Structure 1
Amino acid sequence: MRRLSAYVCDVLVVGGGIVGLSTAYAITRAAPGTRVTVLEKEPGPARHQTGRNSGVIHSGIYYRPGSLKARYAVKGAAEMVKFCAEYGIPHKVTGKLIVATERSELPRLHALVQRGRENGIPVRELGPAQITEYEPEVRGLAAIHVGTTGICDFVGVARQLAAASGADIRYGAEVEHIDRRASLGVAVRIRGGDIVRGRVLVNCAGLHCDEVARLTGDDPGMRIVPFRGEYYELARPELVRGLVYPVPDPAFPFLGVHLTRGIDGSVHLGPNAVPALAREGYGWGTVRVRELGATLAWPGAWRIARRHWRYGAGELRRSVSRRAFTGAVRRLLPGISEGDLVPAAAGVRAQAVLRDGTLVDDFLIREGARAVHVLNAPSPAATASLPIGREVGRRALAALAAV
């Protein structure tokens, strides 16, 4: 690799989203004096998954007891509220409703009550009349109220983590090549030709994490299959006071179309989950042939399609039909019309998929020589970013001590 300039550090973090910045923050807190450099290809932090979600601080009620998601979300929610309060970042503990609108959903709702209690989350069961005490315009057969759910400005959190970490944050630094050698550590060439050298690399590249892992020479054993989450904004935000969710289908990692009042007072409806035609494909018009080809070449993508084509067909229908999307929202909020839906910015979820078509459900962190790879960190990663950062940082420091 051609060397134009060198930036020597102990830990190189690839990715300036909330997980990468939390990792940098955790490392410098745990081991003061450790030199950390963060490489982010965008001109600022949190431009993708962190900055394109509903801003919800998740309670952890959905996740299997004992899983990383459950442990980190429950702990992370409390820590995120404390972090926001400490640094004056806009946030609010709102609580949320999970509403059953059909009798077939009632067993799943009751199972969520049990799961919430196993995870140590305060849950209150509600009947139809009690639902309207929280949300006068929402209708359902039964619901549960989860008191620890909240909202915050995750982009603001990411900026504060960057500032408080003391790390060298390099924006506009897109990774092109990685050279990992036992005697030289890890050398990363970024677009433009500069070489950044470190002793250990941490891969928090989100939508591109599998590609970065392969650049190091490690086989991630999975591929990122991007799913676009499409949102509308509610033209009459006064119809929704807080956060309202349907009962999710446990067969899928998506929570279904829900209603979320953001920290700015707007109410978003969504997301609808459809395949994206690029890793950063925020609309049907964004197609990247190489990335799409890589997705189609992965056997797991075809196995997902065969198993879940009925579910996917419904998502695609809502993507192209505002009437169908409105119908999904009306299950919870019957008083709206198509005219109440205003198109809003979409997000893309980096979903890790195994070769056999398994959708990786939990956080996935793997290690290689001089490297730690975060290979699956979808929602609730923003909520859980502080404990995730500590775990990834612990592994990075252990790798650093071993070289």
Structure 2
Amino acid sequence: MNDKHCDIAIIGAGIVGLAVGLQLTRRNPDLKVVILDKENEVASHQTGHNSGVIHSGLYYKPGSLKARLCVEGGAAMIRFCEEHAIPYDVCGKIIVATEEREIPNLNELLRRGRANGVSGLRELNAEQIHEIEPNAAGLRGIHVPTTAITDFKIVSGKYAELIKKDGGEVLTGSGVTRIVRDADGIVLQTTSGAIHARFAVNCAGLQSDLIAKMAGANLGLRIVPFRGEYFELVPAKQHLIKGLIYPVADPRFPFLGVHFTKRIHGGVEAGPNAVLSLKREGYTRTSFDFSDTLSTASFGGFWKMASRHWKSGMGEVYRSWNKQAFTRALQKLLPSLTDQDIQPAGSGVRAQALDSRGNLLDDFHFVYQDRILHVCNVPSPAATASLLIGREIVTMLESNADFKKIQVAVKQEIPSACIN
């Protein structure tokens, strides 16, 4: 491929990168937008391996970006699915406390949900839990009727289709290998040729810190991959679950605990756990990449985090290799479950940002440096809130002095598509 020239290059065609591209092409139709991805299709990693839940916004700290964008973003996602005939189901979920010690955290979730404006929340006693999920166990619970499910890979494909319709380009099989500056902006060397851009947005997910390093940016954090492994209920037992059943999450971690999730195309998933992955895109227990492992092990923040939470981490590893231990965790929610009722299913890898003090970043995080906006931490509920995250990022860009100069320059030029 010959060199390509554009105004904005977006690195990463997961749901967030595509959402940014969708908002850019809609709000700035004169800009030439190109989205790059190293894989041969969009949504190949985090987006394509998640459980498909459209989250309600219950879990997140009031006032955080996650809280602000998730509630509105979930409603926007449902409207998008309706508009484009994408399958979805507002099936609702319950969060249950199975032990007395979990009730204070359950109350905190209820407080957060109400503060965040989640509609329809209802406290449940044991009898009311059984009315919604007859086979579930719980002392107390919360009913979250606005939680829904969809297929975010289909959503991402529709984003890409609309971007192309609006004049943008989505270039798959175009992994970025080098980033340099020139007089006009940025040159992205890719596996399919060079992209000359005036501005770039790094939405590379699991690779985002490596892309930032390639660009010479110091983010002060590291992406640490956590693999989430799923089982699924065998067909004869899928009737045991009506919607979604979640435990009370450990507030120390940005993970939700093993739970039951009805899938939009049928079936019920059980999981995931949260195991440190030795490969950024490693979807099996034996996946290993020396560079990825060294990246984690050489970061001081990792060892600070590990020294505080090694017991929890070892418990997750044990559950990963021991089906009976995984089953016991699920039996807290569904006591009648047996080892024979579940079978191995898929897995996903979460790109979790970790700072130098060993803290797992709990909110979305962005860093701007030298004509590149680095989207550094956008884990769940990124898919749910993707339309709103895209809007937020484009609003950030439109307030940036360098971006404004590009807008002015483009208006003075003859509009044209990206040229070879």
TM bucket (normalised to shorter chain) is over 0.9
Q: Which residue of the partner structure matches residue 191 of structure 2?
A: 191
- The answer to whether the 8 Å contact 1:200/1:396 transfers is no
Aligned to 2:213: 214
Post-superposition CA distance 1:321-373 (Å, at most 9, x none): 00000000000001111011110111000000001101000000111111111
The partner residue of 1:25 within 22, 30, 37 is 22
Which runs of no fewer than 5 residues in structure 1 stay unpaired?
none
Deviation track 1:141-179 (CA, whole Å, cap 9, x = no partner) reads 010001211101100110000111232000000110011
CA shift at 1:402, angstroms?
3.1
Question: Which amino acid in 2 is paired with 1:47?
Answer: S
Q: What amino acid maps onto 2:286 in structure 1?
A: G
Q: Is contact 1:204–1:374 with CA below 8 Å preserved after alignment?
A: yes
User: Is residue 2:392 matched to residue 1:391?
Assistant: yes
Q: Distance in 1 between matches of 2:100 and 2:257?
A: 17
> d(CA) in 1 for partners of 2:382 and 2:43?
13
- The answer to whether the aligner puts 1:335 opposite 2:332 as a matched pair is no
Deviation, 1:93, is: 1.1
Shift of 1:33: 2.1
Between 1:138-147 and 1:393-402, the stretch displaced more is 393-402
Alignment counterpart, residue 56 of structure 1, candidates 53, 58, 80: 53
User: Hey, what's the Cα distance between the residues in 2 that align with 1:396 and 1:39?
Assistant: 19
Question: Is the partner of 1:220 in helix, strand or coil?
Answer: coil
Post-superposition shift, 1:113?
A: 1.2
Displacement of 1:6: 1.3
Distance of 1:124 and 1:180 partners within structure 2: 55
Distance in structure 1 (CA, Å) of the matches to 2:31 and 2:133: 49
Q: Which residue of 1 aligns with 2:112?
A: 115
Distance 2:348 2:84 in 1: 26
Distance 1:395 1:115 in 2: 26
Alignment of 1:66-77 (within 5 A): 66-77=63-74
Deviation at 1:394, TM superposition (A): 2.4
Q: Which runs of 5+ in 2 are unaligned?
A: 407-420
Aligned position for 2:129: 131
What secondary structure sits across from 1:379 in the alignment?
coil
Contact 1:371–1:396 (Cα < 8 Å) also in 2: no
Provide the TM-score with structure 1 as the length reference. 0.97
Percent sequence identity is 47
Measured against aligned partners, the alpha-carbon deviations of 1:82-134 in whole angstroms (never above 9, x if no partner) come to 00000001111111100000000011111111111111112100111111111
How many Å apart are 1:270 and its aligned residue? 0.5
Which residue of 1 is the match for residue 277 of structure 2?
Answer: 276
Deviations 1:53-110 (A, max 9, x none): 1100001100011100000101100000000000001111111100000000011111
User: For the residues of structure 2 that align with 1:126 and 1:356, how far apart are their CA atoms?
Assistant: 39
The corresponding residue for 1:140 is 138
Alignment of 1:4-403 (within 5 A): 5-122=2-119, 123-166=121-164, 167-181=168-182, 183-192=183-192, 194-235=193-234, 236-397=237-398, 398=400, 399-403=402-406
Distance 1:114 1:272 in 2: 26
Distance 2:73 2:181 in 1: 33
- Matched residue type, 2:354: V
> Displacement, 1:395?
2.7
Q: Which runs of 4+ in 1 moved over 6 A?
A: none
